[in-house]
Amino acid sequence: MPEIRQNLVTKDWVIIATERAKRPEDFKKREKQKIELPEYESTCPFCPGNEKEMSPDETLRIEKNGKWQVRIIPNKFPALSKTGERIRTVDGIKRKLTGIGLHEVVIETPLHNLTTALLPLEDVRNIIKSYKMRYNEMLKDKRIEMIIIFKNHGEAAGTSLIHPHSQIVATPVVPAQVRERFNDAQKYFDENFECVHCKILSEELKDGSRLVFETKHFVAFIPYAALSPFHLWIYPKRHCSSFGDITEDEISDFAVNLQTTLKKYYYGLDDPDFNYVIRSAPTDLKNLDFFHWYLSIVPRITKTAGFELGSGMFINSSLPENDAKFLRDIKI
């Protein structure tokens, strides 16, 4: 019989469709032939040699032996404007806010043909380090209320350029979905005297059936009520509400956990398209007892349809426990 599970963090109800559940291996990308890419592409704006022509401005650079390893630049087509004041306007039912903010691109490697899963571990560490550096710099901008770090990998995930990159967007408002989750987390804390994320982490570690990979400071697991097949969270073991407070030791450990998890996707599901996002506290909220930052990965191997849009519920055609075991058993 199908189960309807609730995700304690998102409050979403998820139908675990056991009657039509697929085997984990059925989600592999068999229909798409892999294309061999060159290490360098002359027309790629992110490849070495095109820095000044395509993107002369930099907000951050990490180098090794005189060559850049990670570059962060303003997005050429930003969703928000860097200049201007944050002005709120209310006119009857019309409410608007000036579209100020920051929108930057993290060029993760000079090599055109690699993905995060296949990068040297030091490069992944540099990517996370660059996230932290820009995150904490953006915190100083008093116009900013929310900083979102995310990666789109593959066409189905919304990427437009192949060269490995991720993005950071800082907005002048906290989105309603984020605010709602924070309110729910605070309510849970008020009623239960503990962080809902810490509770979930404790229960997942105790249960073990949905764990994928564990390191000294981080745990990767499929949530009990995963919204879609192979939807995964990576939680820090230390309670911390802001990603900007990640320590140097945790950065190194996070790099191992994130890359190993992505390798399991890469080899187990034939390099699926995916999105990941770091969910952290709004900029004006720090050292919160009720919130715990984490990274969420959503492989784009299924599509939402009318039921999800009309009901706000999700249908997951794969058992979270089976998905976790499948990834856990992938040998790297």
Domain spans in the chain, listed from the N-terminal domain onward: 3-328
Q: Which of 8-22, 64-78, 145-159, 265-279 has the lowest mean pLDDT?
A: 8-22
**Helix, strand or coil, per DSSP, at residue 161:** coil
Catalytic residue among 165, 217, 239, 292: 165
The pLDDT value recorded for residue 40 is 87
Residue 81: closest CA among 169, 174, 150, 161: 169
| pTM, two decimal places | 0.93
Angle at the Cα of 285 (from 221 to 129), degrees rounded to 5?
Answer: 55
pLDDT digits (tens, 9 = 90+) for 237-247: 999 999 999 99
CB atoms within 10 A of CB 203: 12
pLDDT for residue 227 is more than 60: yes
What mean pLDDT do residues 18-24 have? 65
CA distances from 58 to 72, 73, 107, 273 (A): 6, 5, 11, 28
> Which single residue is written with the structure tokens 């904490």?
136
Give the least confident one: 99-108, 270-279, 298-307.
298-307
Residue 4 confidence (pLDDT): 94
Q: Which CATH superfamily is domain 3-328 in?
A: HIT-like (3.30.428.10)
Is 26 a residue whose pLDDT tops 70? no
Summarize the confidence of residues 196-215 as an average pLDDT.
97
Least confident span in 159-163, 220-224, 273-277, 284-288: 284-288
Residue that wins the pLDDT comparison between 28 and 202 = 202
The answer to whether residue 165 is catalytic is yes
